[in-house]
Structure 1
Amino acid sequence: MSVVSIIVAVVVFVPALVWLAVGVAGLRGTLRRNRWVGVRSPETLSSDDAFAVANRVAAPGTIGAAVILLAGGLLTLGVDSAWSFLFGVGAAVGALIIVGAVSGYAVRAARWASSEDSDAGCSCCSGADAHDHDEAPATTKSATAGSDAAGSVTAGSEAADCGESSCASCTLRGACLGDDDTATSRV
């Protein structure tokens, strides 16, 4: 076992333990908004709810990255080779990629959580199927799109609200599409 392997293992174990603690706290919902650990961006720091949602979304990936780092550190110490430090370096690179990816998803979730009205629900579509997430009738797109002959969204139509609702069910049902089937939403 070389000195380089020991140093690499220690350098890998420290963030592994931090990410493990942060991931577990995020998953349990006990991680409070702060400027030191967790997913921190303007979106996630905008409210306690956004921070909690973001860190709950990122938690499985953060825990997975911690496990990868722990495994890489153990392999670095366990393999008796001059090149064993590459296990720790590889684990660090993989873990950083994973944490970066889940952080991106977490920021998206925080944006969604901070823009959501608690009472709004799925209010962008009017009519009896406003809260129905099942397949919409075939007339939904043409009857509810509210577009003029050029395919642009007219003011006062429910499609003008596309991108404003948190559930996106209207987007999925085609209300944000004009007659020419091109996206006309502000999303």
Structure 2
Amino acid sequence: MKLFKPLYEKALVWAAHPQAERLLAGLSFVEAIIFPVMPEVMLAPMTLARPSRWLRYASVSLAFSLIGALVAYALGHYTFEALRPLFDSLGWLPRIDAMVGKLRSEVAGSAWGAFVMLVLAGFIPVPLKIFTWASGIVGVPMIAFIPGMIIGRGKRVYLLTGAIRLGGARAEALLHKYVEWLGWAVIALLVGAVAWWQLRH
């Protein structure tokens, strides 16, 4: 089943749009709340087209992801019970409930545990929106939530745009060619890493 390559090719179309930066900002915002397509898929072609703007593009994506995360946090805190049927219909409810339980246990120990989980969220195969909603439901302290979101999402967008900036067209061509294999390989590695981390803790 092809998943990553079709999304990447669609992102190429978005990245060529005259308002690509605004689309990136909007995608980053709504993805943190509910949208399924990650904003990173727009960053590689946009950075390739204008390499000197790699830092700007990553910063725009991070800033609007953080704003979206705060909105999702507030929605989780104030409206979750009313929206449970919606999440159930989307198939998210079991994952949200599981994440709520795990975050609640981490927060009970210290805010540091929640911070670590949010940092790791950038590398595990669970959508960011699951963490943002669950954090609001549990009431993760802002002192842990905001830095965790900045580092968790920031390390992904800056590493990606930085790699494309350094590697240029060759890096983007390789990404396009092997994006499907890379996507599934990364997920497999991350699942293994998360399983190992959970066994250790």
Structure with higher Rg: it is 1
Bigger relative contact order (CA 8 A; separation at least 6): 2
